[in-house]
Chains A and B, each alone.
Chain A
Amino acid sequence: MKLKKTLAVINQMQAAGVIGRYAIGGAVGATFYLEPMATVDVDVFVAIHPEPGQLIATPKPIYDYLTARGCKTEGEYLVIEDWPVQFLPLMGPLVEEAIHEACDTIVEGERTFVMTAEHLVAIALQTGRGKDKARILQFLEAGVLDQKRFQDVLRRHRLLDRWTRFEQQFLGGES
């Protein structure tokens, strides 16, 4: 499986200290909980360390590390073992928590980290595109959310109002 090799490269990069803890989100992350869904890329949320002497972290070390190992860039993607990977830096406390609390799992012997279902849905709610809303509905239909944990995430990250609006729009106000 090519994705296993992609994960192995990301793990090597983590072991080399280029990135800190990471978590898979997006469609690949959702596939951990739901039926497989077509996607063309892998979203990897990462804690990026600032370079020595720098205050602001940039994705440059990731690009340098991977391009030095033969990976090509395609727009905002880095192609690792045939899979376009988008490295997304910490974009706020919700993503930071999602990375910190990600599930530790093994794919054919390769260790990796996947965001919890509650965090994936909260991030989709925060992002708010049409496809994110569709994915939230998939999670709800699959019944994989821990409701207490989900409500706690929404409360901590001030997403309760947005969730109420989502419920009114798509669930007819039911909870």
Chain B
Amino acid sequence: MSVDLRNIEESKRQMRRRLAALPFAEKLQILEELRERSLALAANPLRRRRTLSTPGSEGPGCDGSKGHATG
């Protein structure tokens, strides 16, 4: 599969411009949703178990699927 990184970069730039052009109130609404998502992720038991796990149990997976016992 060929991936044109320049297209991806330009697409991301356009997305950022579109978001930046939104009214402040709409951007704050998005910011609140981002915050709620971050807090939900931080409170996720898998993440907490990973943080509290013993040394040596860390694994490469960021979804909690590796590196510690998930049952």
Contact = CB atoms under 8 A, between A and B. Distances in A.
Residues of B in contact with A, size category: 10 to 19
Contact of B16 (A27, A105, A142): A142
Interface string A2-40: 111000000000000000000000011001111111111
A39 B24 contact: no
Interface residues of A, number: 23
A112 B62 CA distance: 39
A92 to B, nearest CB: 27
Given A31-B31, A36-B31, A38-B35, A142 B24 contact: no
Interface in A142-159: 142, 144
Nearest to A34: B20
Interface of A: 1-4, 27-28, 31-40, 105, 107-108, 114, 141-142, 144
